[in-house]
Amino acid sequence: KNQVEQSPQSLIILEGKNCTLQCNYTVSPFSNLRWYKQDTGRGPVSLTIMTFSENTKSNGRYTATLDADTKQSSLHITASQLSDSASYICVVTASGGSYIPTFGRGTSLIVHP
């Protein structure tokens, strides 16, 4: 069964600090991995997309890494801002005819001033 596990479930940091969110998956065969930011009550917004051959992708202060061998990904947030407070969701899609994405439950990040 395809699964995506994210850790930690929630995280509280001070403004200006860095943090790293983790994503482990068992989805196979692998097509792509995406990180989304979802503000409370809003739709998810895409941060990064990585395919099998990519091991790092940046979007401003967000940097995602992918290790396809260990089936792990991380999202690093640099110099956090209050507006980074949100849920961060890891989504992995399989290839080979079935394109149903598997969503993690998300990591809830709270940035305090």
Q: Which spans of this chain sit near other proteins (rule: CB under 8 A)?
A: 4, 31-32, 34, 36, 41-46, 49, 51, 89, 93, 95, 98-106
Q: How far is the CB of 46 from other proteins (least distance, A)?
A: 6
Q: Smaller CB distance to other proteins: residue 4 or 86?
A: 4
Q: Which residues of 25-54 are buried (b: 16+ CB within 10 A; e: fewer)?
A: bebeebbbbbbbbeeeeeebeebbebeeee
Q: Smaller CB distance to other proteins: residue 16 or 29?
A: 29
Q: What DSSP element (H or E) covers 49?
A: strand 45-51
Q: Smaller CB distance to other proteins: residue 15 or 22?
A: 22
